[in-house]
Amino acid sequence: MTNLIKNNFENIPKCDENDGCLIGLDGTTTFFNVKTNKIEKSQSYWELESDYYYKEPNIPNSVRQSRKILDLINEQFDLKVQFGNFTSRLPFGKYIYSSMIMERKRKNVW
C-alpha cells in the first residue's frame, strides 16, 4: 500500500479526460476501482499494457501513471497468474468473459 500511495493511486486520472489516451470497444480494458474513506471511483483504460497503441515518446502521462500502478499490483498479486489459476480450476466447457471473449476449455488446455 505504501508504494501505491507514493504513486498517487487514489488519483488515477480518467482516460477520457486526457489527450492521447485511447478508448476502444474490443481488446482488453483495465479497470481501477478505488475506495477509501474519502474516495470512491472507477477508472478504465483500454489496451493499457499494449505497446502497439502506446508508443514512446508519445505515451500520455495518465497511461504511464496507470501502468505504474498496475505494475505495483502485479508485483504483489501477478494478475495473469491469478487468472490462470482460476481458469485451470474450471470444468470443461465454454466460457465468456469481458463481455466478448469466448474460450473453450478442453483437457486443461485453452
Q: What is the rounded distance in angstroms from the CA atom of residue 98 to the CA atom of residue 70?
A: 18
Question: Euclidean distance between the first and final Cα of the chain, in Å?
Answer: 34
Q: Which pLDDT belongs to residue 70?
A: 92
Q: What is the pTM of this model?
A: 0.73
Residue type, 10: E
2: cell is 505504501
Cβ-based neighbours of 3, under 8 Å, separated by 6 or more: 72
Q: Which pLDDT belongs to residue 107?
A: 63
C-alpha 34 chain-centroid distance: 13
Cβ-based neighbours of 78, under 8 Å, separated by 6 or more: none
Per residue of the chain (110 residues), give pLDDT as tens: 888 888 888 888 888 887 788 888 877 888 989 888 888 989 899 999 888 988 888 899 889 999 999 999 999 888 889 888 888 888 887 777 665 666 666 665 55
